[in-house]
Structure 1
Amino acid sequence: MPQRSEGSAMVPTSLVQRIARQALVTFRQPPHAFHDKHQQLLSLVRQARAADLKLLPPGCGSPPCRGTPPVTYMHICETEQFSMGVFLLKSGARIPLHDHPDMHGVLKVLYGKLRVSCFDSLDRQAAHSRPQVGAMLRSVLRSSAEYTDSSEPCVLEPDRDNLHQIDAVDGPAAFLDVLAPPYDPDGGRDCHYFRVLQGPEPREPNGREVWLMEIAQPVSFWCGTEAYLGPEVRL
């Protein structure tokens, strides 16, 4: 859909604007209307490329220097229904195994290659309680796959693929991230980190049970910020 700019000229609405508007509609919908709206959102997200957000892939280079964040985040927009931004991973960087309490999510690689390893909790009551460091969570390794900018989006649901680990493979990588609703520590939607205690590591065959232990945020991981310079989003 075109939008009017100064001087009454009509210019095309950017893809990132359309994704944001569709996310707003999707996550406002009652449950019976969610599926169709979610499919429309995925249809838009799968089209996203680095150029749509004015991102320039950096050279492969070497792993991040000591003292620089391995991962940075570009904030695009946030409402009560969803948040949207871009994560940029330096070569060799990892976003450790973490959860998304009662949240939906869509991840779309914009450049580079990512390995995404997804786990499901086998104890729903524990998964929906407030975890504590040292708590154990019986889970299953649901999938471990590599994604590029030509891959389908990686989709997570409140009870499926909700815990995942993200690794940059063979160089730097970036992905568009849509989460609904946004993280809200005061509302019980904080991010918790986990370590595989017993069972397969993320690269081993899928479908096997694992024990995860909640841990504090790993000291090797922290996230900086970068300015978003892509098309403006208005909601």
Structure 2
Amino acid sequence: MGIEQNSSGGKGKVSNESKKNKRRQKRSSPVQRLYETCKEVFADCGPGIVPSPEKVEKLAAVLDGMTQADVGLRKDMPFFGSERAPIITYLQLHECDKFSIGIFCLPPTSVIPLHNHPGMTVFSKLLFGTMHIKSCDWSNEVDKFNNTMANAIDPKSYPDGLRLAKIKVNSEFTAPCKTSILYPADGGNMHRFTAKTACAVLDVLGPPYCDPDGRHCQYYYEFPFAKFSDENTLVPEEDKERYAWLMERETPEDLSVVGVSYNGPKISKK
């Protein structure tokens, strides 16, 4: 805890190095603290390896306290003008093999389509604006449902690659709100963002996407549960709204994400 016992057997004193560290922490910007926390949280993690609950809570707490001013954003910046829709701007603060930090700037009505985060733990903090988020995970009952569907429905009536997903979130969020967290197989690993107003989302991914390692961003078509189901499927009527059918698709042609240099408070990586 940064306390050294002195040779005289007294109660001890805070070391000079510890004092320097505390002064340095006080001077650190919120962005610097975020970077240092990410380094700690993801140090022993990798694809599919989730940080401990304590570390997840620590990083979420740092993000919960962050504001648009902490990253140098203003609502009147050109990124957020309604005339830019559907162009989305991405500001990259940092990326390494362990984690990435970036900001998505969404003008009103713009959409980040339903996509996945393979093997990743993801923290998303809405800095300002109102956004609709829909997220889902693959259903644990997918084999049972697919077998039932195959027996009950003409296979020609539904497309290949259709998989059952369970909807976790389907709501609007307005800043300030808590950081959302998703995990490799839970918490809504596949999600879609729809900007109801101009929005900014601070994203932390651990680890980041990496095509050579098989962590590429996959997009999905979504179909209502009822479209490929009938009375023989094993979902109670009251639960049918909690499920959807997903099918992989190519990157949507109308998705436009432009990378722009980040000009907010800098991160020291020493």
Q: Which whole-Å CA distance do the structure 2 matches of 1:100 and 1:46 have between them?
A: 21
TM superposition score normalised by structure 2: 0.73
Q: Which residue does the alignment assign to 1:147?
A: 173
The amino acid of 2:24's aligned partner reads: Q
Q: What is the aligned counterpart of 2:75 among 57, 63, 66?
A: 57
Q: Which whole-Å CA distance do the structure 2 matches of 1:124 and 1:186 have between them?
A: 31
CA contact (8 A) 1:134 1:215 kept: no
CA contact (8 A) 1:137 1:211 kept: yes
Report 1:1-235 matches (<5 A).
Answer: 1-3=22-24, 12-29=27-44, 34-58=52-76, 61-64=81-84, 70-122=87-139, 135-160=161-186, 161-169=188-196, 171-199=197-225, 208-235=242-269
| Alignment deviations for residues 9-29 of structure 1 (CA, whole Å, 9 cap, x no partner) | xx7101111111111111124
Cα drift, residue 181 of structure 1: 0.2
The amino acid of 1:186's aligned partner reads: P
TM superposition score normalised by structure 1: 0.83
CA contact (8 A) 2:132 2:171 kept: yes
| Residues 188/90 of structure 1: CA separation in 2 closer, same or farther (3 Å cut) | same
Q: Which whole-Å CA distance do the structure 2 matches of 1:214 and 1:134 have between them?
A: 10
The amino acid of 2:54's aligned partner reads: D
The amino acid of 1:232's aligned partner reads: K
Structure with more of its chain in helix, by fraction: 2
Cα drift, residue 95 of structure 1: 0.1
| Alignment deviations for residues 185-204 of structure 1 (CA, whole Å, 9 cap, x no partner) | 11010000001123289xxx
The amino acid of 1:3's aligned partner reads: R
The amino acid of 2:189's aligned partner reads: N
Cα drift, residue 123 of structure 1: 5.4
Q: Which residue does the alignment assign to 2:18?
A: none
Cα drift, residue 90 of structure 1: 1.1
Structure with more of its chain in strand, by fraction: 1
Unaligned runs of 5+ in 1: 5-10, 127-132
| Residues 33/73 of structure 1: CA separation in 2 closer, same or farther (3 Å cut) | closer
Cα drift, residue 32 of structure 1: 9.4
SS in structure 1 at match of 2:24: strand
RMSD: 2.8
Q: Which residue does the alignment assign to 2:16?
A: none
Aligned length: 216
| Alignment deviations for residues 145-177 of structure 1 (CA, whole Å, 9 cap, x no partner) | 2223310011110011100000101x2111100
Cα drift, residue 52 of structure 1: 0.3
Same amino acid, percent of matched pairs = 28
Q: Which whole-Å CA distance do the structure 2 matches of 1:218 and 1:98 have between them?
A: 11
CA contact (8 A) 1:27 1:34 kept: no
